[in-house]
A and B are shown apart, each in its own frame.
Chain A
């Protein structure tokens, strides 16, 4: 195995993205319509190409978890579409069942994700049993465990979660997902609750799955370093919108959105940006600011750079349009992105 992987070549022309999210909104209403709605996902377009790893990064409250769950059908979107191989996914457990064989979930906390009363065998076999997959169950379970690096697999059949380490538990969760031979994985913070030294092997496993099985992966994370480690493309979310997306190298080497810049600048060991610590807390999805939703915390606005460019009025009052299209590197910022600057949005924030 070579030290670095070459970037995956573009998928066969004309194949289209394996997963596409169009104009997605997920709003959580308060009880019986009283109280403000939480606009968890507030207009997102996203695509994942076959064989690609896309990282969805942001802080808590940005909506990345809600977006991932809407993609998996665990949460019903308020409006918008999730398209798998070009077709919208259904609603309701039975309509979603065939989709769920193809797109699987890897959760954050491997300890919580496994039923402590079920052995490893039963946890991995669960998916097979739900879908009534034909074939020798033992062999399928063993294959899945082996592919996630637990070898020899039979030794693990009878183990219970409490007997395994964090890394092994996460591998069991991944095996459970792989048993169904999915085409895509959605991984929600797959390594954040694991020890630092164990992180690498799980990330390497994910890379290996893309290389060997042709999986596509959508990774939700708050860790930009993880994106650097494994992701082909990076999308940064803030308050329910994607504020910047593009190939990982370009986004992290030359971020265009002030939020991405600030986020990247506080990562220790990042030296190519001046450290900008944003004041205040990550904002509340029930109180989305008007105009550009980042403007109350934007260093570019606060420092006068926006005023100097003559667009500070737009920042405060004009909603930034949803980022569409995927090939280039673009950011939802009037100041730094030419294409966005030219688009005219509505006067009042949405």
Chain B
């Protein structure tokens, strides 16, 4: 039985002019011990998805579909069961987690709080467990009585991870765990997540906009755009030979150092990630797509098979020409860039 199975998940936020769909029909599966990377930029719905898994969305949101955590649907659980499940089966490390620590309480107490909410253990037992958790994330146990402001950004992030592990969940969802951290600290945190995954048999759902990070940390990658998954597959192949033009743009956004093709030649897309309130018709990516064809604005894009264990929602994949996505030379964002708004001089 899959650890996490998301079927046709749709999440809409209420707004005066009508519901705004943040997630539009997403399917995901995670087996125990899997590492899945979810890539996408602002507005693509990835954070909403992360919150939806534990039903942590703000009141007023409409959710349809099913989220099966160890076979039980989170979306229809009774509140009591939901509270029991939260943190013990799956835990989330949120974006900006470093600011989620209560500044007037010691970090040890905050981690203990997570433990004691679920297991009725005494303070001493909780303190021992806190010490273990801190060691596990690479912090000395004697830092437990520190206040958050006494710790650095990277250390606070580790505390957040320790808190997430407090009840020994089987699934850890990390939403942008390394943004706002220095490069070296980022590397430390990512290595930590990888090691934890291996040692504890955790399944890891890592959400970020940096595709190269996912390529080196996760086994599989799924790319989200405008509330839908547009590509998924094994990490290495998705990164090196993307089947969807958006994936390709994301992959090229952070250049490979040493590659002359990107020297003095930044790659990017014209335009901006779409506003969920005003999505383009057909394939939502078509206004920014360098390889769009006439049928794209009316195309109902689905995830078509694109190779061994891979799927991509691009018409070229459907028509059997996935190489078209890669063959068109990368569009340097310049004067000759046709039909795209917000283009540089």
A and B touch in the complex (CB under 8 A): yes
Please tell me if A272 contacts chain B, counting CB pairs below 8 Å: yes
Residues from chain A with a CB closer than 8 A to the CB of B262 are 228-229
Are A200's CB and B266's CB within 8 A? yes
Say whether, besides A4-B263, A147-B345, A263 and B41 are in contact (CB < 8 Å). no
Count of CB-CB pairs between chains A and B under 8 Å: 165
Please tell me if A199 contacts chain B, counting CB pairs below 8 Å: yes
Chain B 209-223 near chain A by CB (<8 Å), digits 1 or 0:
111110110000000
Contacting A at CB under 8 A, from B319-342, are 329, 332-336, 342
Instruction: Provide the bound-state CA to CA distance between A252 and B257, in Å.
Output: 7
Say whether, besides A1-B334, A198-B269, A277-B188, A269 and B209 are in contact (CB < 8 Å). no
Say whether, besides A4-B264, A199-B266, A281-B154, A149 and B249 are in contact (CB < 8 Å). no
B250: contacting residue among A197, A207, A264, CB under 8 A: A197
Are B212's CB and A268's CB within 8 A? yes
Contacting A at CB under 8 A, from B210-247, are 210-213, 215-216, 246
Looking at the assembled complex, report how far the CB atom of A54 sits from the nearest CB atom of chain B, in whole angstroms: 14
Closest partner residue, chain A, to B341 (CB atom): A151
Instruction: Provide the bound-state CA to CA distance between A278 and B191, in Å.
Output: 12
Instruction: Provide the bound-state CA to CA distance between A201 and B288, in Å.
Output: 13
Please tell me if A288 contacts chain B, counting CB pairs below 8 Å: no
Contacting B at CB under 8 A, from A125-166, are 146-150, 165-166
Residues from chain A with a CB closer than 8 A to the CB of B273 are 165, 195, 197-198
Are B249's CB and A277's CB within 8 A? no
Looking at the assembled complex, report how far the CB atom of B50 sits from the nearest CB atom of chain A, in whole angstroms: 18
Please tell me if B287 contacts chain A, counting CB pairs below 8 Å: no
How big is chain A's contact interface, by range? 35 or more
Are A149's CB and B343's CB within 8 A? yes
Residues from chain B with a CB closer than 8 A to the CB of A59 are 182-184
Say whether, besides A1-B336, A196-B250, A200-B267, A266 and B187 are in contact (CB < 8 Å). yes
Residues from chain B with a CB closer than 8 A to the CB of A229 are 255, 262-266
Are B258's CB and A252's CB within 8 A? yes
Residues from chain B with a CB closer than 8 A to the CB of A264 are 257
Are B268's CB and A197's CB within 8 A? yes
Residues from chain B with a CB closer than 8 A to the CB of A208 are 334, 344-345
Please tell me if B7 contacts chain A, counting CB pairs below 8 Å: no
Closest partner residue, chain B, to A60 (CB atom): B182
Looking at the assembled complex, report how far the CB atom of A197 sits from the nearest CB atom of chain B, in whole angstroms: 4
Are B184's CB and A266's CB within 8 A? yes
Looking at the assembled complex, report how far the CB atom of A150 sits from the nearest CB atom of chain B, in whole angstroms: 8
Are B212's CB and A222's CB within 8 A? no
Chain B 179-223 near chain A by CB (<8 Å), digits 1 or 0:
000111111100100000000000000000111110110000000
The 3 A-B pairs with the shortest beta carbon distances in the complex, nearest first, are A200-B268, A203-B266, A266-B187
Interface residues of A (CB under 8 A from B): 1, 3-5, 7, 59-60, 146-150, 165-168, 171, 195-205, 207-208, 212, 222-225, 228-230, 249, 252-253, 262-264, 266-270, 272, 275, 277-279, 281-282
